[in-house]
Structure 1
């Protein structure tokens, strides 16, 4: 009986240890801010519009407004109009692609206002979801042919032809539509439902090739509007993000998602520490015997929290300078959580549908945010007063 009892206790202990090991990441909310439903950009390069509008929708909620579903394709269409014009004026030397930045969303808001999704879905080409390969190719081919015009003089028709292409794919923009059970004039929607002043929002980044506490034009292809970002040291960049969320402000985040540590499927963005100098002698000996595949499997299993790198300003700059950090994707930070070890992560709303582990959301570690953030946009009041003072923001 004693032997049986001992065996049973051992089995229970082993089972408990196994369960503890296999629990994966266990997140507890610290701050969960209001956000609208997760959308799907599908096969379109329009993450900047989805995340930028998600951010604006949360800002409307924060200020006591309605739960809105804004039209991403209206913003995309208006940007394409101006991008085509600027491409021709710049003799083909700016980016003419689907990519964009948060500056674009605020530019459309400022110049044209916004529309609800119900008034402008942008699906006028026989698809149920956004598939932009054809429209991108068609628009690029046409506008490039205008820029290389052998007549040496532009006609008066080409801008109308651009509108024609956009109307064909996205649909014409309605002057009047029904919303909230009543007819609304296009320009009145923003005035009635979106109490947002674009001048209240700022872009922040952190790089050493420009002076700190000044603005500069971030040198990335998708910044075709040449929007300026405030430059702060890395620790202050991270401080702003944490302060913003803790004080009720969400963040429009742009950065690199091409890393092995980014997994939408697993809902994680992490930077595992693979530095052997940080390991004990026993760990190092075991690590050095592993193949590259075994090392990757250990670091990127996403099965339980792992030790992550300590990110420095130099590391961040080096990855940007060497094209290891590029402007891949825009998402929306809506909260703060901690794992079972008490480690901090940001709750991030993606625009790749809801078919992942966390219903369209993912959790980004602070090291990942420090290393892979290109820039982010926040309300100016979301910046701590002392940093705002250094930047000259009133």
Structure 2
């Protein structure tokens, strides 16, 4: 998830992006349109609620992608009948930072750095490095009780930029060792072995024997008109630093896939844009207003989150245009865990966030399907959760 370039709420971009500003900047900026009466004005009743683990707080780090994807994997463990383990989000992130540094040097510095990442990074790191419990690797190795990555990010970026200037005329064989040492000084060295419930594991054996998921079972899906439907393409966002491929479907099939997954007991990881003024973290509601914000009266803006509102019907042309002009950017990752209805019978997705529990719904939010398909950059889920008709077109069945 990467930097928002539009001026709407620049502070919002910096949480999930290649910059390392505090989470508080984003949360405060998203309170601009909050309503004190919103919680009483919406009456939500759950239709589907996939079991999930407790809400976490990513602190001042752009690691939403790791928190949401690991939350997704924890729910996958529950779905598979396993006892869920709180997985170390920073273990995934730490390994991705090492790989990202290698990629940065290989690309002569022409690729994104920083905290940002994508869901596939967690799957790729799981495949290569395994997994560890949060209790074994907290990433808090520098005197804080929550993530604070600004200083580490500044140092690693400066270091890698020095490496790619190639001052010795050829790369020193020790640059990677020195780079990794900076990361491990802040996050801690990765344990080669550890004890869990009375048994000794390596990260690889823990992933195989305790977590038990198959990395090959998970796919990412997006929707853009510019690419052939039912093919794969490289999602061109800065934080896709590994140039992974996503499957392309029609826009309305994004929500068709999510609905089918939830109804069959699968949760879904959702990446997209949360910088819209119709996204309120404080009130825990996101929708697509019928009117543009600039066309609203002050009274309409003040009433934005005081109960259900009519929505604009999103088209594929609108979605593509928003992506092309940076109105939709890849700035946050969350975990869809259910469906709820408002007092009018309209369905919303229940979305688990990683900004703590300070909002109206204790860390969760309610996102309309129009918002979900309009502002999604990608979703990730188990390939068996995809409806058979779509899976066949994607050659997944």
Normalised TM-score (structure 2): 0.88
Corresponding residue SS for 1:183: strand
2:334 maps to which residue?
Answer: 331
Alignment map for 1:209-288 (pairs within 5 Å): 209-274=226-291
| Correspondence for 1:372 among 345, 352, 375 | 375
| Correspondence for 2:213 among 196, 201, 212 | 196
2: CA distance, partners of 1:152 / 1:66 = 53
2:392 maps to which residue?
Answer: 389
Inter-CA distance 177–24: structure 2 relative to 1 (3 Å threshold): same
Inter-CA distance 94–274: structure 2 relative to 1 (3 Å threshold): same
Note the C-alpha offset of 1:23.
3.8
Corresponding residue SS for 2:345: coil
2:300 maps to which residue?
Answer: 295
2: CA distance, partners of 1:45 / 1:150 = 31
1:17 maps to which residue?
Answer: none
1:309 maps to which residue?
Answer: 312
Shift >3 Å, 4+ stretches: 20-23
1: CA distance, partners of 2:39 / 2:211 = 46
2: CA distance, partners of 1:176 / 1:97 = 28
Residue 153 of structure 2 corresponds to residue 136 of structure 1: yes
Note the C-alpha offset of 1:297.
1.8
2:322 maps to which residue?
Answer: 319
1: CA distance, partners of 2:89 / 2:234 = 25
Q: CA RMSD in A?
A: 1.7
1: CA distance, partners of 2:135 / 2:389 = 42
1:98 maps to which residue?
Answer: 115
2:203 maps to which residue?
Answer: 186
1:123 maps to which residue?
Answer: 140
Corresponding residue SS for 1:376: strand
Inter-CA distance 374–249: structure 2 relative to 1 (3 Å threshold): same
Q: Is the 8 A contact 1:103 1:225 kept in 2?
A: no
Question: Unaligned stretches of 5+ in structure 2?
Answer: 1-36
Normalised TM-score (structure 1): 0.89
2: CA distance, partners of 1:172 / 1:54 = 23
When the two structures are aligned, how many residues end up with a matched partner? 361
Corresponding residue SS for 1:356: coil
1:347 maps to which residue?
Answer: 350
2:14 maps to which residue?
Answer: none
1: CA distance, partners of 2:209 / 2:219 = 24
Residue 165 of structure 2 corresponds to residue 162 of structure 1: no
Q: Is the 8 A contact 2:39 2:283 kept in 1?
A: no
1: CA distance, partners of 2:158 / 2:265 = 45
Task: Tell me which structure has the larger Cα radius of gyration.
Answer: 1
Corresponding residue SS for 2:41: coil
Question: Unaligned stretches of 5+ in structure 1?
Answer: 1-19, 277-286
| Correspondence for 2:82 among 65, 83, 87 | 65
2: CA distance, partners of 1:177 / 1:304 = 50
